[in-house]
Amino acid sequence: MKHRVGIVGAGQLARMMAQAAIPLGIELTLLAASPDDGAAKVVPNVVVGSPDDPDRIRELAARVDVITFDHELVDPDLLDALVAEGHDVQPRPDEMRLAQNKRLQRQMVTDAGLPGPAWTQVDDVSDVERFAGEHGWPVVLKAVRGGYDGRGVWKVDDRDMAETVVTGARDTGTELLAEAFQPLDGELAVLVARNPSGDCRVYPATETVQRDGICHELHVPARFGEEVSREAEALAMQIAERIGATGMLAIEFFVVAGRVLINELAPRPHNSGHWTIEGAEVSQFEQHLRAVLDWPLGGTAMVAPAAVTRNLLGPEDGSDPFARIPLSLGRSAAHIHWYGKESRPGRKIGHVTARADAPADAERIATVAWSALMAGEEQGT
């Protein structure tokens, strides 16, 4: 029976997969960039090396039944080679290719006739001007590859600003696309689990509260109303089926005037699903492992009426919240997840989740825990 999973990457997602692997007897082996990576500290089987090093990834492949990922920074051609050599790679290389490229994602959404923001490819600043002529300023310019947490996203108000970004991108060889700026009511993410046999399950839509392109909070149920959530969940299932996703797939949405627009996708467990550890019948991490092994999937329903997660970002004063874990535990029933990373200002170093009978209670319990850990920080919204 297949039960040995190799994970490329050893960050917090792999660390939380390790926690989920234990009760099911799933054996993990990691390809870690460094033995100090968060997951490498808690998993005994570790290959140290770069995911772009064919020898290291083959060393990983030789030790496991299936290869999966905790990030998408892997060369899909190398993955194709592994598949050709008979290795099981889930998600498939084409799904990884799609996840690495925002233009391919936008094209897929357009081809499928699904709702997304108006967009165009940008080769020159005149492309941005023409697009703004049709859709108005501001325009959002995005790096087609390599962006995350708002890096590689520029809101430009006029031709001069656009020119600065386009010139800078040309200098660094960065391909760009332009998107119509959306007046957001807010943002949602929907997690879908799908296994190679085609079993597919969707989690309740999650509201993601973003500031400066970084996700700070999760609220489930999302606060845009049932209809918006159900629409996003149906679209997410449609996309998972269309691309033949395997493992967890996170689809991010914009909510604009009560309707959803597809933003981007991630082919793995995702920050927006961290609440599922305590808040759902089966967590996204266990579900991902089950799915890539082609085992039966589990329930995605909530186990309480409300869940709130707050991310811990390294405090600006340089202090380390780790030492305040006992203080937080003494004040709140929220569940703390520490990622085993050194704290640096703005870096995601953990999260807290509270579930409760009412959203306001979940929010209060999570905020008390978060505030104790982040002593001195502004609370945000």
Residue whose beta carbon is closest to ligand ADP: 182
User: Which 3 state secondary structure label does DSSP give 119?
Assistant: strand
Residues 237-256 that bind ligand ADP (CB under 6 A): 252
Q: How far is the CB of 188 from ligand ADP (least distance, A)?
A: 11
As a whole number of angstroms, the distance between CA 50 and CA 57 comes to 8
Nearer to ligand ADP, 149 or 294 (CB): 149
Q: How far is the CB of 248 from ligand ADP (least distance, A)?
A: 17
Q: How far is the CB of 187 from ligand ADP (least distance, A)?
A: 6
Q: How far is the CB of 254 from ligand ADP (least distance, A)?
A: 6
Nearer to ligand ADP, 19 or 210 (CB): 210
Which residues are CB-contacts of 89 (< 8 A; sequence separation ≥ 6)? Answer: 66, 67, 68, 79, 82, 83
Residue with the two structure tokens 């640096």: 344
- Is there binding between residue 234 and ligand ADP (CB under 6 A)? no
Helix 284-292 and helix 12-24: axis angle, to 10°?
A: 70
Residues 200-219 that bind ligand ADP (CB under 6 A): 210, 213
Question: What are 345's two structure tokens?
Answer: 């200002």
Burial of 26 (0-12, 13-18, 19+ CB in 10 A): buried
The stretch among 25-33, 150-158, 238-246, 291-299 that binds ligand ADP (CB under 6 A) is: 150-158
Q: How far is the CB of 357 from ligand ADP (least distance, A)?
A: 30
The CA angle 227-229-234, to the nearest 5 degrees, is 95
- Is there binding between residue 147 and ligand ADP (CB under 6 A)? yes
Which residues are CB-contacts of 170 (< 8 A; sequence separation ≥ 6)? Answer: none
Length of the chain: 381
- Is there binding between residue 327 and ligand ADP (CB under 6 A)? no
Site string for ligand ADP, 171-190 (x = CB under 6 A): --------x-xx-x--x---
Q: How far is the CB of 184 from ligand ADP (least distance, A)?
A: 6
Nearer to ligand ADP, 210 or 238 (CB): 210
Q: For ligand ADP, how many residues bind (rule: CB under 6 A)?
A: 19
Residues 49-108 that bind ligand ADP (CB under 6 A): none
Q: How far is the CB of 323 from ligand ADP (least distance, A)?
A: 31
Q: Which of 263, 284, 328, 343 binds ligand ADP (CB under 6 A)?
A: 263
User: DSSP letters along 179-248, please?
Assistant: EE----SEEEEEEEEE-TT--EEEPPPEEEEEETTEEEEEEES-TT-HHHHHHHHHHHHHHHHHHT--EE
Q: Which of 153, 304, 329, 368 binds ligand ADP (CB under 6 A)?
A: 153
- Is there binding between residue 146 and ligand ADP (CB under 6 A)? no
Question: What are 68's two structure tokens?
Answer: 């999966």
Among 262, 248, 252, 265, which Cα is nearest to 206's? 252
- Is there binding between residue 264 and ligand ADP (CB under 6 A)? yes
Site string for ligand ADP, 104-123 (x = CB under 6 A): -------------x------
Q: Which of 33, 140, 304, 368 binds ligand ADP (CB under 6 A)?
A: 140
232 vs 180, 225, 257, 296, CA distance in Å? 20, 11, 14, 24
Which residue type does 62 have? A
Nearer to ligand ADP, 184 or 360 (CB): 184
Question: What are 242's two structure tokens?
Answer: 């269309």
Within the chain, what is the greatest distance between any pair of CA atoms? 60
- Is there binding between residue 148 and ligand ADP (CB under 6 A)? yes
Nearer to ligand ADP, 29 or 120 (CB): 120
CB atoms within 10 A of CB 218: 26
Question: Contact residues for ligand ADP (CB under 6 A)?
Answer: 117, 140, 142, 147-150, 152-153, 179, 181-182, 184, 187, 210, 213, 252, 263-264
